[in-house]
């Protein structure tokens, strides 16, 4: 599992919007695809305190991606500590890559894991489990009120080996049904020259246009021959739930439609800026999307 350089920068942007908090739970230990110099540069760029980055920065020695490629990336501990986190955990179905919380995300978590996280980070787990809905509920059950989920996963199956693919609509409907304080949904479009890691091709990042969604009363469709990834940032409010199963648009009752619309209006009023920026600005977005710039 890993966070590319621009996704890692998105976590920093979220921290600038509001500090990520004390406790971070990674769903699978994340490879942070930033060299030490890149991390320092980003911290300076966003005018954050160096938090121990003045000297030698811990290098990732544990994740599979690093062991296979020999890359010199910062460790997850160095990255999240730089953002002020004091408790940095990784949950996995075994102690793979040194996970300190062992749990199969296909099954519901127990009470001991409820409300333990200020930030839950998923860099491609939902697309590698059989029961993605249970896993998503687990993430949000682990969150404290005010906590956030930051995730990137394949939005269609068989994308670079993805086991499952969860659509943009699937995420947005879950977070509206559970009355989250905010939810930002992005689509990452990869083109044929783009590899599954460390993209070298012209990646496009699109933000869902909630004004369009409100006008049309539905989530826009997105057709793309290449890989599509869903990037989602969601904030849990004091009255948010985690266990409500959404009803798809065409089957909603009048009450469900009204609640869905009220939530989209709430998300539309958010003052959050884009968490990611597109790498290609000459792309014309389809209806319902805008370039994330």
| Span 153-185, pLDDT tens digits | 999 877 777 899 999 999 999 999 999 999 999
Parts of the chain with a pLDDT under 50: 194-200
Q: What is the pLDDT of residue 161?
A: 79
Q: Tell me what pLDDT residue 162 has.
A: 86
The SS3 call for residue 229 is: strand
* Contact by Cβ (8 Å): 166, 126: yes
- What domains are defined for the chain? 2-291 (3.40.50)
Task: Round to whole Å and give the CA distance between 206 and 189.
Answer: 8
Q: What percent of the chain has pLDDT over 90?
A: 78
CB distance 160 to 154 below 8 Å: yes
Q: What is the pLDDT of residue 147?
A: 98
Strands 289-291 and 143-154: unpaired
pLDDT given for residue 216 in this prediction: 95
The phi, psi pair for 2, rounded to 5°, reads: -160, 155
pLDDT of amino acid 103: 97
Q: What whole-number distance in Å separates Cα of residue 128 and Cα of residue 146?
A: 27
CA pair distance 37, 73, nearest whole angstrom: 10
Closest CA to 290 of 222, 214, 205: 205
How open is the CA angle 75-113-99, to the nearest 5 degrees? 30
Cβ neighbours of residue 114 closer than 8 Å, sequence gap 6 or more: 141, 142
Give the pLDDT of residue 195: 47
- DSSP 3-state of 72: coil
pLDDT the model gives residue 192: 66
Which of 163, 151, 86, 157 is CA-nearest to residue 122? 151
Whole-number pLDDT of residue 193? 55
108, burial (CB in 10 Å: exposed 0-12, middle 13-18, buried 19+): middle
| Cα gap 118→20, rounded to integer Å | 6
Buried b (16+ CB within 10 A) or exposed e, 129-167: bebbeebbbbbbbbbbeebbbbbbbbbbeebeebebbbb
Distance CA 76, CA 60 (A): 7
Give the per-residue pLDDT at 223: 87
């Amino acid at each position: 599992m890993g966070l590319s350089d621009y996704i890692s920068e998105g976590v920093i942007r979220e921290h600038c919007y509001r500090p990520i908090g004390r406790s971070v739970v990674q769903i699978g230990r994340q490879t942070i695809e930033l060299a030490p110099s890149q991390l320092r540069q980003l911290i300076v760029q966003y005018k954050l305190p160096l938090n121990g980055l003045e000297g030698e920065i811990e290098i990732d020695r544990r994740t599979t991606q690093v062991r296979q490629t020999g890359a010199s990336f910062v460790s997850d501990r160095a990255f999240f500590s730089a953002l002020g986190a004091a408790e940095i955990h990784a949950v996995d179905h075994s102690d793979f890559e040194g996970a300190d919380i062992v749990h199969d995300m296909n099954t519901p978590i127990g009470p001991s894991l409820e409300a333990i996280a200020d930030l839950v980070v998923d860099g491609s787990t939902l697309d590698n489990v059989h029961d993605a809905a249970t896993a998503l509920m687990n993430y949000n059950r682990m969150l404290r009120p005010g906590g956030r989920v930051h995730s990137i996963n394949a939005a269609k199956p068989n994308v670079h080996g993805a086991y499952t693919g969860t659509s943009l609509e699937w995420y947005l409907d879950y977070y509206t049904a559970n009355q989250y304080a905010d939810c930002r949904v992005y689509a990452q479009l990869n083109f044929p020259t783009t590899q599954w890691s460390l993209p070298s091709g012209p990646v496009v990042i699109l933000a869902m246009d909630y004004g369009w969604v409100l006008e049309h009363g539905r989530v826009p469709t997105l057709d793309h021959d290449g890989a599509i990834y869903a990037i989602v940032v969601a904030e849990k409010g004091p009255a948010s739930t985690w266990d409500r199963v959404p009803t798809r648009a065409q089957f909603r009752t009048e009450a469900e439609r009204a609640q869905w619309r009220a939530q989209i209006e709430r998300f539309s009023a958010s003052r959050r800026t884009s968490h990611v920026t597109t790498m290609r600005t000459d792309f014309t977005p389809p209806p319902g999307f805008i370039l994330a710039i």
